[in-house]
Amino acid sequence: MENCIFCKILKQEIPCFKIWEDEKHLAFLDVNPVNPGHTLVVPKKHEDYLFDLSDKEYTELMLAAKNVAKILKKRISCKRVGVGVEGFGVSHAHIHLVPINKAKELNPEKAKPMDKEKLKEIQNKLTS
């Protein structure tokens, strides 16, 4: 999609703080995180709505999210990794993975911009 910010990230037209990648998916830090380490997992193929993915694509995306969640849980101090999907902010299927420590912490209204130095620090922690 021409104006899709995630497609522009995938084409490397816009930089991102990449955490993980395979042939079909990319995981990168959300620049407006709910909590530090908030990561987005996106399929490299543009699809507007998560549930329009084929069963195979959907399963592969969920397994990619599971792999990334394991990285987050291991390297970020958190009790759980929360999962969110709503799809209104960007019209490209994606999964939010948010390190959380208590109930009601997975709240998109808590999202706020994070400076690039802090994002880079978190990226380094997750990829080293």
Q: Which of 25, 38, 92, 94 is catalytic?
A: 94
Annotate 64-122 with DSSP letters as a single string.
HHHHHHHHHHHHS--SEEEEE---SSSSS--EEEEEESSTT---GGG-----HHHHHHH
* Cβ neighbours of residue 70 closer than 8 Å, sequence gap 6 or more: none
In contact, 25 and 44? CB cutoff 8 Å = yes
94 among known catalytic residues = yes
Torsion angle (degrees, nearest 10) of CA 110, 112, 116, 118: -30
The residues that are catalytic are 94
